[in-house]
Structure 1
Amino acid sequence: MMKLLYGTSNPAKLQHMKEMLFGLDIEIIGFDERKLLTDPIDESGNSPLENAKIKAKAYYHGAGIPVFSCDTGLYIDGLNDSEQPGVHVRRVNGKTLSDEEMIAYYASVADKFGGQTKAKYSNAICLMIDENNIFEYDGDDISSGAFLLTSKAHTKRTAGFPLDSLSINMQTGKYFIEMDVNEEREKQSIIADGFRNFFLRTILK
C-alpha cells in the first residue's frame, strides 16, 4: 500500500479526502501523522492547478515522501473576471478571512444579485511521487456542479467549510450544511469518482 501525504493543514479536508478515497490501495496521511511542521506557502498561482502544483512541490521537498495537493477556485455568475474570487476564496483585499468573515462577505456578494446567484467550484490536483513523476489534473469530473449562493446564511456551521452555510443544492433546495449523509454522498459521488479515477490511472494502474 502506497503512503501519500495530503498537503493540507485543514483537518476537515483531510478527513473528507480519506472518505472519498476509501478502499483504494493507498494510505492518506496528514501533517500530524508525519509530525511535519510547515512554513506558510505563497500560493501565488492564478488558477487552482497552478496553486496545487506550488503546494505539492513545496510539501514534497519538506517531507521527502510522495505528496498530493489540491486547490479550489470559486466562480460566481454575474461577476466579471477581475471580481471573481477564483483561488483567493479566503483572501479579500489582502486580508485572510475567518470562517465567519467569509460567510458575511459572500452573503453580501449574493445580496448584490437580489439575494442569490449561481456559483461553481473548480478543483485541481497535483501528485508528486518524485522529481520525475508529477501528475496533474483539473477536469470537470473533480469539480462541483452549479449551486446557488445565497445571502441568507444557515445557522449551522462546519469548521473549514464555511460556505456550506450559504450554498444551496439546486435540485433539492437544501443548504449543503443540512444535507443528510445519503444526500451528501450523492452530491459528492461524481467528484469522488473523479478523484479516485485520477489515482487509478496514475499510480494504481
Structure 2
Amino acid sequence: MKEYKIEREGTAEEQMMKLGLVTSNIGKYEEFKRTLKKIENLELILIDNISNSNEGSNIEKNAQTKALTGSMEVTYPVIATDEGLFLDFLPKSEQPGAYISRIIGPYATDEEIIEHYTNLIGENKTGTGTIMTSYVIAFEDKIINKGLYVQECIFKTPASSARITGRPLASLHYSEEFNKFYSELSAKEKQYMNNDFYKEIVKFVLQTLKI
C-alpha cells in the first residue's frame, strides 16, 4: 500500500484525523458516524455536495468514482460506498443490481421505492436476496484501498410503517432473530445485526489509514 501524508489538526497530544464520507444519504452518514466513533481521534465529515459522480451498473466502479471525486474536493482521505441488490426470485435480466432506487427513476421517493419492491415481492409474502456493499477509500485522486461485503437478507411484505429516511429497503428488510423489520430495530439491535459489517469497516479504516 502506498504511503501518503494525512492532514491532521489540533495539538500534538490531541491530533484529529479527518475522514470524509461521500454520500447524500443522511441515514448512511449517521450509521457510519456511530460505527467509526470507536476509532479514537477520527473525525467523520459528511461530503454531500459532490457533482460529476454519475452512477452506472457496477457497484465497485460507482464507489470508486464517488471516492475519487470526493478526494479531489478535500485535503484528507474520503470513503464512499455503493450497494447492489440481488433478489433470488427474479431472473438475472430483471435484477436491480446497482439500480436499487434508480430502476424506478432518478428522483424516486422512499415511498415509491417501497411500493415498487412490495409489488415485486407480492402482498403478504417473503423473499430472499443479497445486498452487496462496495467500499473504497481515496486520497489525492488515488484509490488507496477497497473492499466488498456480502449480506444475505430476507424481505417481507407488507412493509413496516416505520421509516428510515434515505433507506427505504429498511422497511422491507426483515430480521427473523428479532422478529421485526430493520426500520423498527433499536440502535442496539441494529448494531448487533450489522456487527460483522461494522467490524469490517472499522478494520478497513484502521488498516488503510494506519491509525
* TM above 0.5: yes
Instruction: Let me know the Cα RMSD of the aligned residues.
Output: 2.0
The runs of 5 or more residues in structure 2 that have no matched partner are: 1-15
Deviations 1:81-140 (A, max 9, x none): 22111111011255442100000000011118x7221022111111012245521111x3
Q: Does 1:202 align with 2:208?
A: yes
Paired residues for 1:138-149 under 5 Å: 138=148, 140=149, 143-144=150-151, 146-149=152-155
| Preserved contact between residue 19 and residue 76 of structure 2 (Cα < 8 Å) | yes
Give the distance between the partners of 1:88 and 1:4, measured in 2 at CA. Answer: 27
What is the letter of the counterpart of residue 134 of structure 2? Answer: A
Q: Report the structure number with the largest CA radius of gyration.
A: 2
Q: Secondary structure at the match of 1:30?
A: strand
- Written as runs of structure 1 = structure 2, the 5 A alignment for 1:49-128 is 49-92=60-103, 94-111=105-122, 115-128=125-138
1:12 paired with 2:12, answer no
Work out whether 1:42 is the aligned partner of 2:54: yes
Distance 1:180 1:9 in 2: 23
Provide structure 1 residue ranges, at least 5 long, that are not aligned to the other structure: none
CA distance in 2, matches of 1:153, 1:78: 18
SS in structure 2 of the partner of residue 105 of structure 1: helix
Alpha-carbon contact 2:47-2:70 (below 8 Å) kept: no
Counterpart selection for 1:158 from 151, 158, 164: 164
Normalising by structure 2, we get a TM-score of: 0.84
Secondary structure at the aligned position of 2:116 is classed as: helix
Q: After the TM superposition, which parts of structure 1 deviate over 4 Å for at least 4 consecutive aligned residues?
A: none
Match of 1:23 in 2: 38
CA distance in 1, matches of 2:28, 2:187: 17
Greater CA deviation, 2-11 or 98-107?
2-11
| Length-normalised TM-score, structure 1 | 0.86
Give the 3-state SS of the residue equivalent to 2:43 in structure 1. strand
Distance in structure 2 (CA, Å) of the matches to 1:8 and 1:109? 27
Higher helix share: 1
What is the CA–CA distance in structure 2 between the aligned matches of 1:190 and 1:123, rounded to whole Å?
A: 13
Partner of 2:165, secondary structure, is: coil
